Chains A and B, each alone.
Chain A
Amino acid sequence: MSTPAERATNAFKEQIDGPIASYLSSCVHCGMCAHACLFYTETEDPRYTPINKVEPLRRVWKSEYTFFGKLASKFGLTKSVTDELLKEWELLIYDACTLCGRCSMVCPVGNDIAYMIRKTREGMIAAGYAPRGLKDATYRAVTVGSPMGVKLPALKAQIKHVEKDTGLKVPLDVEGADYMALLSSMEIMNFPEYIEALTRLFDKAGVSWTLCSEAFEATNSGMQIGSSDIEGELIQRIVDGAEKLKVKYVISPECGHAYYALRWEGPNVIGKKYPFEVVHILELLDQLRAQGKLKVEGKLDQKLTFHDPCQIVRKGGVVDEPRRLLNMVSSNFVEMEDAGVMNWCCGGGGGVSANERAEPLKLTVFNRKKSQLEKLGVNTMVTACANCRINLEEGIEHTNMDVEVVGLAETLAEHLAD
Chain B
Amino acid sequence: MTPVEFLAWVRGPMFQIAVAIFALGVAIRIVEIFVLGRKQDLSEPRRDGVVPGIKTIFGRSIPDTGTFKRSPLNVVAGYIFHIGLFTTILFFVPHIELFHSVLGLQWPGLPTPFIDAVTVVTIFAMVVILINRLRNPVLKFLSTFEDYLCWLVTLLPLLTGYLAFHRMLFPYQTMLGIHILSVEILLIVFPFTKLMHFFTVFLARWYNGSAFGRRGVQS
Contact = CB atoms under 8 A, between A and B. Distances in A.
Contacts of A18: 33-34, 36-38, 203, 207
Given A25-B197, A29-B194, A52-B141, A338 B66 contact: yes
Contacts of A342: 64, 66
A317 B216 contact: yes
Contacts of B28: 67-68
A68 B63 contact: no
A49 B34 contact: no
User: B33, B34, B41, B139 — which one has the most chain A CB atoms within 10 A of its CB?
Assistant: B33
A278 B38 CA distance: 24
Given A19-B38, A22-B33, A35-B70, A317 B217 contact: yes
Nearest to B31: A67
A341 B217 contact: yes
Interface string B35-52: 011110111101000000
B109 interface: no
A17 B32 CA distance: 10
A202 interface: no
B203 A22 contact: yes
Nearest to B142: A29
A21 B32 contact: yes
Give the size range of A's interface with the partner.
35 or more
A65 B205 CA distance: 20
B136 interface: yes
Contacts of A313: 217
Nearest to A115: B211
Nearest to A110: B205
Contacts of B141: 46-47, 49, 52
Interface in B83-97: none
Contacts of A133: none
A51 B142 contact: yes
A32 B74 contact: yes
A29 to B, nearest CB: 4
Contacts of B204: 19, 22-23, 25-26, 109-112
Contacts of B197: 25-28, 109
A20 B70 CA distance: 26
Contacts of A35: 66-67, 70-71
B215 A65 contact: no
Interface string B162-195: 0000000000000000000000000000011010
Nearest to B70: A35
B164 to A, nearest CB: 28
Contacts of A362: none
Contacts of B46: 317
Contacts of B29: 25, 66-68
Contacts of B32: 21, 65-67
Interface string A21-55: 11101111111101110001100101101011000
B211 A31 contact: no
B200 A32 contact: no
Interface in B70-127: 70-71, 74, 78
Interface stretch (A174-182, A207-215, A262-270): A262-270
Contacts of B203: 18, 22, 26
A46 B34 contact: no
A406 to B, nearest CB: 25
B176 to A, nearest CB: 30
Given A29-B144, A105-B64, A112-B211, A267 B43 contact: yes
B74 A317 contact: no
A17 B44 contact: no
Interface string A104-130: 111111111001000000000000000
A164 interface: no
A268 B41 CA distance: 6
Interface in B136-159: 136-144, 147
Contacts of A74: none
Given A19-B38, A22-B207, A110 B139 contact: no
Contacts of A263: 43
A27 B142 CA distance: 11
Contact of B194 (A27, A108, A265): A27
A110 B142 contact: no
Contacts of A192: none
A200 interface: no
Most chain A C-beta atoms within 10 Å of own C-beta, residue among B42, B60, B204: B204
Given A27-B194, A35-B70, A268-B39, 9 more contacts: A17-B36, A25-B29, A29-B142, A46-B140, A65-B32, A67-B32, A109-B204, A266-B43, A319-B217
27 contacts: A18-B38, A22-B204, A23-B207, A25-B33, A26-B194, A29-B144, A29-B147, A31-B71, A31-B139, A35-B70, A36-B67, A46-B138, A67-B32, A68-B25, A104-B208, A105-B64, A106-B64, A108-B60, A110-B60, A112-B204, A264-B43, A266-B43, A268-B39, A273-B42, A273-B44, A314-B217, A342-B64
Q: Which A-B residue pairs are the 3 nearest by beta carbons?
A: A317-B216, A110-B205, A46-B141
Interface of B: 25, 28-29, 32-34, 36-39, 41-44, 46, 56-57, 60-61, 63-64, 66-67, 70-71, 74, 78, 136-144, 147, 191-192, 194, 196-197, 200-201, 203-209, 211-212, 215-219
